[in-house]
Amino acid sequence: MIIWINGAFGSGKTHTSYELNRRIPNSFVYDPENMGFFINKNIPKEISKGDFQDHSIWRELNYTILKSIDSEYDGVIIVPMTIVNPHYFEEIVGKLRDDGVIVNHFVLWASKETLQKRLRSRGEGKNSWGAKQIERCIQGLSNDIFKHRLETDTMTVETVAETIASMLDIHLLEDNRNKFRKRLDRIKTQIKQMRLIN
């Protein structure tokens, strides 16, 4: 089974995914973004696109890898990835579902103000990639194809993860961490996601 966590940049996809990963035994986080960076680093600049999702090979490879993992891995695959183009969504999620793969899709929805505040809290200004994509993401994710929207403006990461697990009837391990440990885990997740630009 795949749990796809969608949403605008700053919506909490990565933190929610790793919270689920921490509390679902036998689970794995697969990040399609890594394939995008791989493609951009391994093709001539002349044919590189502004958004790696526009490369058809990115969609093909992620579909193939996810299908392969699902067929061999007896656990829950968690995918944190913003995808707002309905055609691209169908080329990956729709195709997986057509092949019999169970893909549960959730959009972490938040207001523009909340998204901007969250991006600022992680050091991203109004001219960052994520901030510039807010309007596009909000508009794109309004499409009916992107179902199961969770209003997260006032929800903690733990509450979002617990809500998703409850909707899927998944039993989560108890979270016995104190506030300091939770904060430390979030910082570790944030550091893990940092990428140096060449």
- Per-residue pLDDT band for 126 (boundaries 50, 70, 90) equals confident
State how beta strands 149-151 and 103-109 pair.
Answer: parallel
pLDDT digits (tens, 9 = 90+) for 81-92: 999 999 999 999
CATH homologous superfamily of 2-193 equals P-loop containing nucleotide triphosphate hydrolases (3.40.50.300)
Domain boundaries, given as residue ranges, for the chain: 2-193
Burial class (CB in 10 A: 0-12, 13-18, 19+), 127: exposed
Collapse the DSSP code of 7 into the 3-class scheme (helix H, G, I; strand E, B; otherwise coil) and give the result. Answer: strand
Is this model's pTM higher than 0.75 or not? yes
DSSP state, residue 145: T
pLDDT of residue 198: 39
Could you tell me which residue, 50 or 178, shows the higher pLDDT?
Answer: 50
Place of tokens 């699902």: 70
